Structures are given as structure tokens and as C-alpha cells.
Structure 1
Amino acid sequence: MRIGIPREIKNNEKRVAIIPSMVEELVSNGNEVCVETKAGEQSGFNDIEFESAGAEIIKDTKKVWDCEMVMKVKEPLPEEYQYFRENLILFTYLHLAAEPSLTDELQKNKVTAIAYETLALKDGSLPLLTPMSEIAGRMSVQIGARFLEGTFDGKGVLLGGIPGVAPATVTIIGGGVVGVNAAKIAIGLGAHVKILDVSAKRLREIDDQFNGRVETLMSNPQNVSNAVASADLLIGAVLIAGAKAPQIVKESMVKAMKANSVIVDVAVDQGGCIETIDKITTHENPVYLKHEVVHYAVANIPGSVSRTATLALTNATAIYANSLATLGIEKALIKHPELQSAINIHDGNIIHPAIAEAHKKEFVSFS
């Protein structure tokens, strides 16, 4: 199979979908890899390294997209829709529940769209999403700490405080991978941390994991309202695989926050779990002020640590990319049955139930 790796064009998206060692493995298994020139440059992988591993370096973006399977990091942007066609396999992060126009275009052109973020193992874990969730969770606290500085219109608060001065309060909505990784960094910086989740079992696990250093709360409207009001930094970390994120934090709750507090909504690429996150921002212009609260709504947070993120992502995707390319979809599904949960669109049909529900469209089982 010919695999194309285009250069990412999303604002300040510096990751790349493949690394030279993956190229070497794919080529050794009889595949061809076409990498758009400079696709890996901002992740520290140059054209010479890819070429030495066996890739063909291509300057023409269209030729890269003409390959049988295209691997990306982020969802295609409107200017890339022109490359869609029947029988194209697209393997990338898609987040289709929050992307109606992209969903329509993929359906119309009968692209087989395979999403990293919905691939689920039997235990419910999401192996291709987890590494980026780990990074985004950890970075959410770094980002929040920066924007709490007065230089960036924040409260002028040091997250960990100092002796004689209380630390900041970090409220995390959601106790999954993002939430736990955010808590690790916030605790390490000395903040007072609250985590809210709908699962009592999960809260017990978090309490054990952090030896009581995190305040755990059931996620109900009263607890959310109180925890949001007390937050210096509020982190949205809610995920329902494949589905649009539920808006847990209402606008009235944000209005009750202290002036110049900070919100970082990691769920923004799934529509956001905070009602006042009503637009996606970019790394160039990452924040806006609403109700005197600083809102950070960048949808590709890990893109700013591209070297780490690229290595973490390809560690997870390599095995599936190799199977899809070498065996084809049908045989790859026999080897890795979990791949079926990653197929979002095939032959013009929506194959994932959560995406069908999000767009009020028909769900069709993959066959």
C-alpha cells in the first residue's frame, strides 16, 4: 500500500503522523511511504532522515493525498477537502461529533475515515487518545499557571503560593486521563486541587492514587457550582468517546468566578464542556476574556510540544498503521478487532453510533 504523510496546516500544528523508524518498518513490509517535504521538520525530523529510512519525499501536496492511505495528526481543514475521494483511507484524529461539515464531506466522498480517538480496547481504554490526553492534561496546568500571571490579564497568582500565602485552587471537571494528569502537575506545583467526576468508584481510585492530596467531589450541579466559584484555575477534562462533550459548567457558574480567573477547556475539540467556551482559539491567539474570566480554548494543545507529542503518538499508532497498510482493512480487523471502533465513516455511512447521534443521522453497522 502507498501511505501519504502530508504536512499539517492547522495553526501552529507542529506534529507529524510518522517518524523514520515507522517508515523503515512499513517499507520493510512491502509498503511505500510518501512524505510531504518538511512535514516532520518542526518535530525534529528532517527530509533526509525520512529519505534514509526509505520514504519518498514529495513537494506536491496533491500527490501525497493521492496515496491509498493518508495518515495525519489533526482533522483535515476545508482547504484539504478537495483531496477526498472514494476508497481513500484516512487515519487521523477526527473528532467528528464537533465537525458537521467535515462529517458531511467524508460521507459525500465515501472516504473510509478511521479516527485515533475512538479506537477502544475491551476495557474501554483509548490507546491512541491516551498519550495526547496525558500531554494535554499536564500542559493544561502549565498553561493555566502562565495565564494566571498578571502579565497575561490573570489574577497575579502563583499556583503553589509560598509560606504564609495560600496556594491557588485548581478545579478539574472530569477524573479521566486528562484530569488525573492535570492533578499530577497541579499537586507538584503546590496547588490545592479539586476533582469532580460522576463515578464514585473513579473518585475512590483517585483518592487512593493521590493519598488524599486531592479533594474529590461527586459531579452534581451544586458541587460543580461551588467548586467552579472557588477556582483560580478551572480545567475542563470531560470526555465521552466519539461524542460531543456535555456542557457541565454553565454560563451562570462562570459569571460567579472571581475576576481574572482562568479556564482551560481541554474538551474544546469535542465541543467543550464549559458553556462559555463558544469558539476555538489558536496558539497564536489562545485566549479571550468573557465575564472577566480568561478563557483558553486551543484545540490542539499537544501541538506546541511537537517532539514529545509526535513520539508519544507514533508509539501508539505504529502497530495499527502497519496492519492497515500491510494487511488491508478486513484482515487488520481480524488481527486487531478494536480497529472497528475507530472506523467512523465507510462507504458514505456513519459507522460510529456516538457520531450518528451527535449529528442526528443514521447509524449503519460496519460489514
Structure 2
Amino acid sequence: MIKGESGKTPAGVSKRISGYLGLTALFFAISLVTLYFVHRFFSGGTIRIPEEFFSLPVFAGLFVLLVLYFLMDGLRLYSVIRAVGFRISFAYILRLVFVNIFISNVTPLAIGGGFMQVFFMCRKGMPAGEATAATSIRTLLAALVLFILTPIIIWFEPQEFSMFFHPNILYAITVISCLYLAFFWVVLFRIRLIKFLIFHVLYGLHTVKILSRKRFRSAFVKISRELRSFSGGFIRFFQGSPGWAALSVLFTALFLLLLFSFSIVLIRILGYSIPALTILAFQVVVTFFMYFAPTPGAAGIAEGGYGLLFAQLVRQNDITMLTLLWRFLTIYIGVFIGILIIYLELYRGEKEKKHET
């Protein structure tokens, strides 16, 4: 453990890390309880551990897939940052990948990861508005794929999901997908409407004496400035560097393909010959619903939804192992690495503050 000059970890770092570790414990507690539920009710309390999992070729293949998965996650954000006109070293961006995995999986609705990435990008000299735009574009590119494909998959393959979704839920999914896309259309092309709404919200707070006139004006000016910066980041992405913008789309597609490929590889190792497109369809639907999970990192929803859907494809005694390995490879490893990196980054930040003072 890294210590300060007095031999102790800085108090600010210790407090933050303690908070994050508490959220991490909650995340894993929910995940483990749900895995037990999957094991008890979907697997009938049985589990099979194939010998193939312990072979060197399988370990090597999964390791390569994992490395590529993390690299593509970093490259998609790096390309977006370059497209909006900024340069941050890829090594630093790769650290932010694990920061995002860790924080987003221990905060409700996965909202914390992007904010923390913005915080660290600002430390590298990137304005908050552009940094927010970059992380938003990164998220939007992946969300577009999921929010477009999910309604199509469910409508064209209703027999695969009929036991889970009432027709009214299918309509709701379609409406939610359209609203999500409409929201980003407003952000892109109707930024004045957002400023108009924010002005009236702040003015309302001023009217009821929650904000003084001075704070009302300063808050609106500051928010307007960041919104212009945010909107400018989006504009530069689409108009500034088409090569980097195209690469960000490519790396996003590869990232999602690699993310979904873990299930394909694991199911193949278990000895099944299920069509890859069927597995991909199930994986898209599971990931879509994880976006709306209120629990930290979609814990519980992810394991339960995955087990529920994939129980249709594999035998009972394989579903627990499949679900556990899927979460371990795609999330748990990244969370553990992220804990270490966030500690080091926070410690470095505290040390720099002390030197400045």
C-alpha cells in the first residue's frame, strides 16, 4: 500500500477509497445473492465444471479476448477524444477504462463512471464541456447499437422472448428506444431548448428564494458556457476529424462484438453448437436491460436476466458456471483492476495538491 510522507495514506484518499469499497461490497453482495438464486432455481442446485476450462489453450484464448476487449474499450474513447480535437495519451486513456468499469459498477444506474472519467480528463487539461461531450459520444455510439437492435430482435424473433415479454412491454421497449434517440437529437441540434429549460428552472429557484439573483445569474452563465463547450464537442466530432470519427465507430463495433463474444466462446467451451447469431441476439437484449437497472453496475439484473434467457440455450447444470464466468470476465476483473488504479490516481492527486500548497 502506498503511504504518504508520514507513512500514512492521505486522509482524503482513505475516505474516498473507503466509500468506494463500501459500494463495491454492496455490488458483490447483490451479485452473489443473485448468482445463488440462479444456481438454486435455474440450475436446480447442480453445477458442471468442464475439464476444458483448465486447459492452456482455453486460458490463452480467453486472455487474448480479454486484452482485446479492454484495448477496444480504450481505443473507442481515445478516437472520440482525437475527433473532438484533443490529445491524451492512450496509456492514460487505458487507465480510465478501468476507472470507468470500477466506478460505473459501484454506482446506481452506472452514472458515476463517466463523471469520474471527465474529472481525470480535466486534470489533463481538457475542458469539462468537451470531456463530457467525449464520454457522452462514446456512450451514445454503443447505446445506438443496442437501442436500435433490441426492438428489431424482439419484434423479428418474438418466439424467443414470448415467455418473458408481454406485447405491451414490446411497445414500451420500442417507445423507450425512440425517446432515447430523440433525447440525443435534442442535445445535438436543439441546445437552445435545453438552455431555455435550464433558465426557467433556475429562475424558478430564484423566485422561491432558494437562489439569490447573483447566484442565479452566475449559475446560468456557467451552465451556458459548459453547454456551449459540450455542444461544440459534438459539432467538432461530426465536422472536425472524419477519420478519427470513423475509427471511433469501428472501435465501438469491435468493442461490442468482443463483449458479446465472451458468451459465444464460453458456450462453445461447454460443448454446445448454438448459432452465434442466436447468442448475440440474447446478449444484446440482456445488455439493453442493464441500462435501466437501478442497482450498482446492474448487479442482480444482469446475472438474473442473463441466467433467465440463457437457461433456454444450455442445460441446467451449466447455467450457473456460464453466468459466473461471463460476469467474471466482462466485469469483475475490470472492477478489481479499477480499484487499484483509482487508488493510485487519487493518491497522486492528493500528493500534487500538497506540493502546490
Name whichever structure is richer in helix by fraction. 2
TM-score (norm 2): 0.26
Larger-gyration structure (1/2): 2
TM-score (norm 1): 0.25
